[in-house]
Structure 1
Amino acid sequence: MRVAVIDYNKCKPEKCGYLCASTCPVNRSGGDPAVEVSEEDNRPRISEPLCIGCGICVKKCPFGAITIVNLPEEVGTPVHQYGPNAFRLYGLPYPRKGKVVGIIGRNGAGKSTAVRILSGIVRPNLGRYDDPPDWDEVIDHFKGTELQAYFERVRDGKVKLSYKPQEIEAIPRMFSGTVRELLSRIDSEKVEDVAERVGIAHILDRQVCKLSGGELQLLAVAAAIMKEADIYFFDEPSSYLDVKQRLRAAQIIRSLAGKGGVMVVEHDLAVLDYLSDGVFIVYGVPGAYGMVSGYKSVREGINQFLDGVLREENMRIREEPVRFEVRPPGDWQGKVLFEYPSLKKDLGGFYLEVEGGAVREGEIIGILGQNGIGKTTFVRMLAGEIEPDEGKVETELKISYKPQYISFPDVPVSQLFMEEGIDLPFFESEVKRQLEIDKIWENSAAELSGGERQRVAVALCLSREADIYLLDEPSAFLDVDQRLTVSKLIKKVVASRKKLGFVVEHDIVMVDYVSDRLIVFSGEPGKRGKASAPLPMREGMNSFLKELGITFRRDPHTGRPRVNKPGSQKDVEQKKSGEYYYTGA
């Protein structure tokens, strides 16, 4: 069975003259064409029954708009397809009573589509995008499965659903007013209590349009949990949040399971593990098709995802397994490449104090701390964008900086890499395909999605010829695989070039994977912050997690960090011994 997908956001026939149609061997043979131009919108259409899967159109398309995939006939009818030559999803996860069900997978594989279907926003069309089925046909399709009874309740309005969307940036465009006014629309009697639980009581009277990304995320979580529902859906609830906020939100979300059930899409493996009782894995070719695994225990599911082999499905989804170091790196040896003195900065209402430090060649310094504690201010002082009030960063070293917030002009992505200082041979050989920049090469940089924009920004930063690489939250909007790819690239660039890096990050798994030492920020968010000198990983993790009151253990199979439940035997033992992270080290 052939799946042919055209991304019409990338397709530009006015520039290529329909190369897909003119180079198709089926078209050139003179028979019925496999690629035709629609008279309705002048867009190319690929006939999946006539397509022979040669891949010529995929290679010839200058905009990377075409994907051709061969699937076995056994996959059957898609649950949902967005249109002709469009993404389709095979199978669905399902909620379980009294449980938190996690959903993990690549961006563009169909996780959000599945959640939108289950939350009643989208009715599954069973692949009939031009003749959608009614509810009775949908229910008959799922006859004999857990989803039959579920969709019957959805059809009859007998299940109350609450949905926290992924796109929280849209909230200010949809609502004008204060946080209190928005939440009061849902349930005015719960506003104060829920705001206190979620951690937004101090911004209740702030205008929604003035909120940061983290504040918008907490507002969206608060709005979702205020509703009286049987099933709660959360699509990427940890984005923009720091470690403390992520785990507090996770505790609140987990407490909802007793009301009926919860489903969560999440890319932070530590949070997903902490939240979930079990998981579904969504796999496939991003943007083309997605398939849903069977239900797995949370430990087994995440481990199979990292191993790259779904045993029950007999499916390989990753070429090499992912493993984590259980022991912290030892004392770092090497030539000191960069030193900075103690720094102080008063931003009017917020005061930052930084201990001086020295960094050696080939070393990556992870930076951990709560939101609003001064991490970005510190990095911007290193980058020369902010002048300290006391102390001075003096260096002749070249600096490449990826900021936290990214915007690009309305030019093709390819043009961004024509700037002076880009090591094009290195970019072409080591970065372009690994970060999938080749797939968006001719797209407008101003119209990229959050994940695409992040990958381009990281690629630009790592492809510049520099001595110091500063990356502020490089995992934002990226899925698990992309985060691991970025981590490997950062390590490779710094090690092979004998340079150094600073990485600000909230994903504990990524910090553990990429860092050699840590700078830990403490203080009171929004008022004062203090940054330590670079610390050994063991000391840094213990310092950071002790302040948060959180301990981690290690999975014996993959070595990945797992959050201990508060008050559990492991949690108590590790706190008593002072080992909050590297147990057994």
Structure 2
Amino acid sequence: DKCRPNKCNFECGLICPVNRQKKECVRIIDIEDTTVKKKIASIVEDACIGCGLCAKPVGGCPFGAVSIVNVPTELSNDIINRYGRNGFRLYRMPVLKQGKVLGFIGQNGIGKTTIVQILTGKIKPNFEDFDNTYSTDSIINKFKGSEMHKYMTKLYNNELKISVKPQHVESLISFVKSKGFDYTVKEYLNLRSLNKSRLDKIIEDLELSSILESKIIFLSGGELQRLLCAITLASDADVYIFDEPTNYLDVRQRLNIAKLIRELIDNDKYIAVIEHDLSILDFISDYICILYGVPGAYGIVSHPLSTSNGINIYFDGYIPGENMRFRQSEYSITLNTSENTDIVYDTSKIQYNGGKIVYPNYELHIESGNIPREGSINIIMG
């Protein structure tokens, strides 16, 4: 989207050492973009030497559209999906096991959403083969001999009912507004095909009773999170996928969500959780897969690891079993044990008035007070 050949001087091609040797590495090609044709720079990867000159802000692409990344060559046979030529690559798929909870750990932008879309059938993997459209049978055969063969067979034979808790909770408000609906939480829950006996317990455990009469469009982030988790938990499904289920929640609520997810475990159920809170991930997961790579460029899924070992490996930045270092240095927490403290002076300068904010079924009362303008960290607790 950033590449604009009509607004530049083809800097990426002019600075390329391979192009300057009269060979073709960076070229301008025509692509179809929805209903119109446009031109875009394309890199011939077999010819690229990885110098990175075209990606530099000075002398290279003026729009920052180029990212040169050296992907480990030993993974060349493990590519699952690629978003167009020179687009994001996903290597390997996680292994889902019935009766176990799989945890994902990794930074944003390296393929977690793509994995969810493949696991739910919203995206059919192309295996970086843009010239062929794979049939469902061909996709299943690609996984033959792997632990995911059974899952993919069931998926493409429509034998799996899948329930997903989406990552972005505000999407529910956008959906309700786009349809012109004005549902309360109770009305929306009644419209969904949910296990009513299980739902009553979930409503109690997630403390949703107090907001049942509230309009969905007025819910906070934490309330939306608990509502969407409740819908997923109360669904009768074969596969449960929770994408960041504890965002916006306090510690107690996070533990409640984690316990309810563990209660879903059944010999016939597949459960996967994407979570950034490592303590919650440690509590929920039976095993984990680490996702690493370069955001926006490529993502690699590690082989399954035990939960405790996998979290330690993630901190270390090195996977011994694969001889793969995915981070230059380990994460470490250095405690400052110095007893020397500076005198804190009262520098209160910002005054604010009290007041009241009213929503349907909710009121926020604010007392007047002040906030130090300089040298302070202010924490909102509740």
Match in the other structure for 1:234: 242
Question: Which position in structure 1 is the counterpart of 2:19?
Answer: 27
**By how many angstroms is 1:130 displaced?**
4.8
In the alignment, structure 1 residue 335 sits paired with structure 2 residue 347: no
Q: Give unmatched runs, 5+ long, in structure 1.
A: 1-7, 351-371, 378-385, 400-466, 469-499, 505-520, 523-585
Query: 2:299 matched to 1:299?
Result: no
> Counterpart in 2 of 1:275?
284
Task: Say whether residues 1:255 and 2:263 are aligned partners.
Answer: yes
1:501 partnered with 2:374:
no
CA 1:324–1:223 in 2, change beyond 3 Å: closer, same or farther? same
Residues 260-299 of structure 1 show CA distances to partners (whole Å, capped at 9, x for unaligned) of 2310011111111111111100111111111111111111
Q: Which residue of 1 aligns with 2:206?
A: 198
Cα distance, 1:311 vs structure 2: 0.9
> In structure 2, what is the Cα distance between the partners aligned to 1:294 and 1:33?
34
Which runs of structure 2 are paired with 1:420-569 in the superposition (5 Å)? 467-468=374-375, 500-502=376-378, 521=381
Distance 1:128 1:169, change over 3 A: farther
TM-score (norm: length of structure 2) = 0.85
For residue 278 of structure 2, what is the amino acid of its counterpart?
A: L
CA contact (8 A) 1:34 1:48 kept: no
Q: Is the 8 A contact 2:12 2:26 kept in 1?
A: no
Contact 1:58 / 1:64 at 8 angstroms: preserved in 2?
A: yes
1:214 to 198, 202, 222: 222
For residues 274 and 363 of structure 2, the distance between their equivalents in structure 1, rounded to whole angstroms, comes to: 28
Query: Offset at 1:23?
Result: 2.4
Match of 1:172 in 2: 173
Answer yes or no: is 1:49 the counterpart of 2:46: yes
Query: What amino acid does structure 2 have at the position aligned with 1:274?
Result: F
Shift of 1:94: 1.8
- Paired with 1:267 and 1:332, the residues of 2 have a C-alpha distance of 34
Which position in structure 2 is the counterpart of 1:290?
299
Partner SS, residue 69 of structure 2: strand
Contact 1:82–1:129 (CA under 8 A) maintained in structure 2:
no
**Residues 338 and 322 of structure 1, relative CA distance in 2, 3 Å threshold:** farther
* Structure 2 letter corresponding to 1:110: G
Taking structure 1 as reference, are residues 344 and 501 closer, same or farther at Cα in structure 2, changes over 3 Å only?
closer
SS at match of 1:67: coil
Amino acid at match of 1:233: I
Q: Deviations over 1:364-411 (max 9, x none)?
A: xxxxxxxx999xx9xxxxxxxx8x53x555x6xxx4xxxxxxxxxxxx
RMSD (CA atoms): 2.9
For 1:68, the equivalent position in structure 2 comes to 68
* 8 Å Cα contact 2:67-2:297 kept in structure 1: yes
Query: Which amino acid in structure 2 is aligned with residue 171 of structure 1?
Result: L
Q: Choose from 160, 183, 193 the match for 1:187.
A: 193
State the structure with bigger RCO (CA 8 A, min sep 6), 1 or 2: 2
User: SS at 2:103's partner residue?
Assistant: strand
Q: Relative to structure 1, is the Cα distance of residues 43 and 308 closer, same or farther in structure 2, using a 3 angstrom cutoff?
A: same
> Partners of 1:215 and 1:129 in 2: how far apart?
43
1:97-125, Cα deviation, whole Å (9 max, x unpaired):
21111000111111121122112222222
Asked if the contact 2:25/2:45 (under 8 Å) is kept, the reply is: no
SS in 1 for 2:125: coil
CA deviations over 1:446-484 (Å, ceiling 9, x no partner): xxxxxxxxxxxxxxxxxxxxx43xxxxxxxxxxxxxxxx
Residues 260 and 330 of structure 1, relative CA distance in 2, 3 Å threshold: farther
CA separation in 2, counterparts of 1:373 and 1:265?
34
Amino acid paired to 1:180:
K
> Shift of residue 187 of structure 1?
2.9
Is the 8 Å Cα contact of residues 24 and 44 (structure 2) preserved in structure 1? no
Aligned to 1:126, the other structure's residue is in SS state: coil
Supply the AA of the counterpart residue of 1:56: L
Structure 2: segments with no counterpart, 5+ residues: 32-36
Deviation at 1:332, TM superposition (A): 5.8
Question: Given that residues 126 and 138 in structure 1 are in contact (C-alpha distance below 8 angstroms), is that contact kept between their aligned partners in structure 2?
Answer: no
CA–CA separation in structure 2 for the residues paired with 1:139 and 1:150: 9
Give the partner amino acid of 2:341.
Q
Return the letter of the residue paired with 2:187. E
Query: Could you report, residue by residue, the CA deviation over 1:416-456 in whole angstroms, capped at 9, with x for unpaired residues?
Result: xxxxxxxxxxxxxxxxxxxxxxxxxxxxxxxxxxxxxxxxx
Query: Would you say the 8 A contact 1:126–1:133 is kept in 2?
Result: no
Q: Deviations over 1:557-583 (max 9, x none)?
A: xxxxxxxxxxxxxxxxxxxxxxxxxxx
Pairwise CA distance, 1:138: 1.2
SS of the residue corresponding to residue 192 of structure 2 reads: helix
Give the 3-state SS of the residue equivalent to 1:263 in structure 2: strand
- Distance in 1 between residues matched to 2:46 and 2:281, nearest whole Å: 40
Partner AA of 2:39 in structure 1 = N
Which structure shows the bigger proportion of residues in helix conformation?
1
CA contact (8 A) 2:244 2:275 kept: yes
- Write the distance in 1 (CA, Å) between the matches of 2:154 and 2:112: 22
Residues in 1 aligned to 2:122 and 2:225: alpha-carbon distance in whole angstroms: 20
Tell me, in whole angstroms, the C-alpha distance in 2 between the residues paired with 1:503 and 1:133: 53
Distance in 1 of aligned mates of 2:18 and 2:276? 42
SS at match of 1:38: strand
- Give the SS at the match of 1:123: coil
Matched, 1:38 2:38: no
Alpha-carbon spacing, 1:349–1:63, altered in 2? closer, same or farther (3 Å): closer
What is the aligned length? 361
Counterpart of 2:98 in structure 1 is 97
> 2:290 is paired with a residue of what secondary structure?
strand
